[in-house]
Structure 1
Amino acid sequence: MDRTLVQSHTGSFGHIMQTFALSLLVSFIGTLAGAMFIPPSLVGLFIVVEVVMLVSVFIIRFRGKTIGYPFLYIFTAVTGVTLYPVIANYGGLLGANLVSVAFLATAGIFGGLSFYAYRSQRDFSFLGGFLFAATIGLIVVSLASLFIPMGSVTNLVISVLGIVVFSGWVLYDVSQYKDGVGSEQVPMAALNIYLNFINLFIYILRFLASIVGFSRN
């Protein structure tokens, strides 16, 4: 009886991944909405909402609390809207076929790393401190790039680092969640995995754009 009670209050890894998959679907719907219904003049508002929600997540995690499913799906819908201009921009640079290749590459890398971390007996918790510091570094560089033009070589290096860092996060998070989490922690776990996937996708797009930039110079 006690064991059954514990299991009923535990979110399995499968449940986490199902929630993540649904989050991706919600994000895709948000991207379609951004393409068809959201005026470009309103995208800035969605970006502000996205940033505020993301900061809220950090504060919630710092306080040892968690988020609910409504927060998760609202956030992923909002990020879907803000992703549309990014994807459209890379589509103009790379073409729709290469954007599709980037998504398939992201799915392949994500799937392979997730499978390895889930099946492996290795403990990837040692990566946590390095990945956190590296992510802060990437955020700082990304903010700086808004004001300082980055050359092709710099963009290539940043994109490779981004791919490595978020690949590391996939290993870290999957290894942390593979034995399940408390049921109330499932939305936060799914959000972490969602952010890993989306950021990996964006950095792969940036990598391909850097390669194309080299070939044109």
Structure 2
Amino acid sequence: MSTSFSNLSSEPRHPMPMGDAHTTAGHPEQVRRVLRNTYALLAMTLVFSAGVAVATLTLQLPAPGLVLTLAGYFGLLFAVFKLQNSAWALPAVFALTGFMGYTLGPLLTHSLALPGGTQTVALALAATGATFLALSSYVLLTRRDFSFMGGFLFVGMVIALLCGIAAMVFEMPALGLAVSAMVALLSAGLILFETSRIVGGGETNYVMATVSLYVSVFNLFTSLLSLFGVGGSSD
């Protein structure tokens, strides 16, 4: 399970020096530019991550383990944060999303081995895509401000991370199932939160916006995969 805490601040960041530096935060043209760049980069990272996951699945590569997963995730996330305004920002983003795709491969292997595994993966993928499109469209159409959710989402993700680690270490399936449900709800909230920040001009760095949305989509998919997998394994 991977969670992101890097984008819950309600304060706007400095924009990327790629044409946004002389615009006013919240300007319609800037918002459109950030949205366009964010969704374009998000699409590319999702395709790249899926490709890495499929390669990991095909080659039957082993799972990196809890410690390496957390170290790799937070280490690469920190690198993206530090390099967000440099030419190395995009390579860092693809390194992070590629690593997360690698961690997804063993999970897909396990899910596909369950009864009805193919249907479970397809259902989780479809539900994730539909949820993301619905929530993003809602914010884009209504322009509602969800920035007030930042503190709640941050605390919720911290609790979910700690509970998720405890469920893995102490082998508590029931707790793991509860964490998956919690992460799915928090991920949906993060999609609303980050999209709202972009629309409102609070997020002007499309690299950081992409990472936040990618992690939310990733966590939503893996959580739904775990939840649907429980139903499939009991058939």
TM-score under structure 1 normalisation? Answer: 0.82
User: Is 2:93 the counterpart of 1:72?
Assistant: yes
1:81 partner amino acid = Y
1:157 aligns with 2:171: no
Between structures 1 and 2, the one with greater helix share: 1
Q: State the partner residue of 1:172.
A: 193
Does residue 57 (structure 1) correspond to residue 97 (structure 2)? The answer is no
Per the alignment, in what secondary structure is the counterpart of residue 44 of structure 1?
A: coil
Shift of residue 134, structure 1, vs aligned partner: 0.4
Q: Which residue of 2 aligns with 1:31?
A: 53
- Quote how far apart the aligned CAs of 1:51 are: 2.9
Residues 1:121 and 2:143 aligned together: yes
Kept in 2, the 8 Å contact 1:173–1:192? The answer is yes
RMSD: 3.1
Contact 1:162/1:200, CA 8 A, preserved across alignment: yes
* Contact kept in structure 2, 1:35 and 1:84, CA below 8 Å: yes
Q: Distance in 1 between matches of 2:89 and 2:143?
A: 31
Partners of 2:153 and 2:97 lie apart in 1 by 23
Cα deviations across residues 102-140 of structure 1 (Å, max 9, x unaligned)?
100110011101111222232101100000000011110
Unaligned runs of 5+ in 2: 1-19, 24-28
Structure-2 residue corresponding to 1:211: 231
2:113 equivalent to 1:92: yes
Aligned AA (2:128) = T
CA contact (8 A) 2:76 2:95 kept: no
What is the letter of the counterpart of residue 218 of structure 2?
A: I
Measured after TM superposition, the shift of residue 98 of structure 1 is 1.5
* Among 107, 123, 146, the residue aligned to 2:168: 146
Quick one: distance in 2 between partners of 1:170 and 1:205? 18
| Larger mean Cα displacement after TM superposition, 120-129 or 16-25 | 120-129
CA distance in 2, matches of 1:81, 1:55: 15
In structure 1, the residue matched to 2:44 is: 22
**Identical residues among aligned pairs (%):** 23
Kindly provide the amino acid, as one letter, of the partner of residue 217 in structure 2.
F
Equivalent residue pairs, number? 207
Q: Specify which of 203, 222, 235 is matched with residue 202 of structure 1.
A: 222
Q: Does residue 123 of structure 2 align to residue 105 of structure 1?
A: no
In the TM superposition, what is the alpha-carbon distance from 1:192 to its structure 2 partner?
Answer: 0.7
Which amino acid in 1 is paired with 2:111?
Y
Q: Is the 8 A contact 2:73 2:100 kept in 1?
A: no
User: CA distance change for structure 1 residues 101 and 56 in 2, over 3 Å: closer, same or farther?
Assistant: closer
In structure 1, runs of 5+ residues without a counterpart are none
SS of the residue corresponding to residue 149 of structure 1 reads: coil
Which TM-score applies when normalising by structure 2? Answer: 0.76
In structure 2, relative to structure 1, the CA distance for the partners of 1:208 and 1:36 (3 Å cut) is closer
Q: Which moved more, 1:172-181 or 1:3-12?
A: 3-12
CA distance in 1 between partners of 2:70 and 2:181 (Å): 25
Distance 2:46 2:229 in 1: 23
